[in-house]
């Protein structure tokens, strides 16, 4: 099987046409005509991930985040992106990114988050204007309402994080919840309009918390933490498609954020 054959299966599941215009998805590094030896699934591509791919004899990395996002004008060793790309090329390792093609998938990134926290009857939070069956985020309901602090503790456990930033607590129970993995400040208004009691996302800035306006509890769990189960989603799907092929879930921790 060639790398392109494997990519064809990925794109049947999560078409590149679903990606946002600003994004950089698809095969970013490598030769799709090479024979496929093994596949490493990861959230991010770093030098450490390239090393793991070499160690595990994988010549294709399927990464959620794109290692190349904006244009590269040179290939030196001055940045982690350039060093990672050079190392991949030297070792004939291809890198494929899914990113917003999977963000917008009806059973993609945010569906996985909604599963992890037990949302029922979830639907897309922000639908695509041209195709309402795809879009960003999910909104649904907990089977049993939770007190706000109880809900925060629950999210810490389910999303494996020790640090949560949140807006003012409103002294009411949480029942209806919106989620959006990654940077989600753009959907605060949508969450409020759709009567969510809480909105779980990441990368909220100081002034974003004012937008809660005592109508919703905004919960920032961190970018990596919000998307960490995406690699499991990708891995599980592709393992079902290729049950006898070497599709490996990366063990290298790619979270660049540390907490004290």
Each residue of 198-213: pLDDT tens digit?
Answer: 999 999 999 999 999 9
pLDDT of residue 130: 87
Number of domains in the chain: 2
pLDDT in tens, the chain (260 residues): 999 999 999 999 999 999 999 999 999 999 999 999 999 999 999 999 999 999 999 999 999 999 999 888 889 988 999 999 999 999 999 999 999 999 999 999 999 999 999 999 999 999 998 898 999 999 999 999 999 999 999 999 999 998 999 999 999 999 999 999 999 999 999 999 999 999 999 999 999 999 999 999 999 999 999 999 999 999 999 999 999 999 999 999 999 999 98
- For residue 83, is it within any domain? yes
pLDDT of residue 212: 98
- For residue 132, is it within any domain? yes
Q: Are residues 108 and 208 in the same domain?
A: yes
pLDDT of residue 129: 85
Read off the CATH number of the domain in which 13 is found: 3.40.1390.30
Block residue for tokens 């939070």: 125
- For residue 260, is it within any domain? no
- For residue 142, is it within any domain? yes
User: Mind listing the pLDDT tens digit for each residue in 120-135?
Assistant: 999 999 999 889 899 9
Q: Are residues 42 and 120 in the same domain?
A: no
Q: Are residues 125 and 186 in the same domain?
A: yes
- For residue 255, is it within any domain? no
> Domain residues for 152?
104-220
């Amino acid at each position: 099987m060639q790398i392109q054959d494997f990519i064809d299966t990925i794109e049947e599941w999560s078409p590149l046409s679903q990606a946002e215009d600003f994004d950089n998805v698809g095969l970013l590094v490598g030769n799709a005509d090479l024979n496929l030896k093994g596949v490493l699934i990861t959230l991010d591509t770093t030098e450490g991930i390239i090393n793991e791919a070499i160690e595990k004899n994988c010549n294709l990395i399927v990464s959620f985040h794109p290692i190349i996002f904006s244009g590269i004008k040179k290939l030196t060793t001055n940045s982690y992106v350039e060093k990672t790309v050079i190392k991949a090329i030297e070792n004939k390792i291809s890198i494929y990114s899914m990113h917003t093609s999977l963000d917008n998938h009806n059973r993609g990134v945010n569906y996985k988050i909604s599963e992890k926290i037990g949302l029922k009857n979830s639907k897309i939070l922000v639908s695509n204007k041209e195709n309402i069956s795809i879009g960003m985020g999910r909104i649904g309901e907990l089977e049993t309402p939770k007190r706000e602090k109880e809900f925060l503790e629950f999210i810490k456990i389910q999303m494996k994080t020790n640090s949560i930033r949140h807006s003012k607590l409103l002294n009411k129970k949480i029942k209806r919840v919106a989620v959006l993995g990654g940077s989600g400040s753009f959907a605060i208004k949508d969450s409020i309009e759709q009567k969510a009691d809480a909105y779980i996302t990441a990368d909220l800035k100081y002034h974003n918390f004012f937008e809660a306006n005592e109508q919703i509890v905004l919960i920032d769990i961190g970018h990596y933490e919000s998307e960490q189960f995406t690699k499991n989603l990708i891995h599980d799907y592709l393992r079902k498609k290729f049950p006898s092929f070497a599709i490996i879930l990366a063990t290298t921790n790619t979270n660049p954020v540390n907490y004290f």
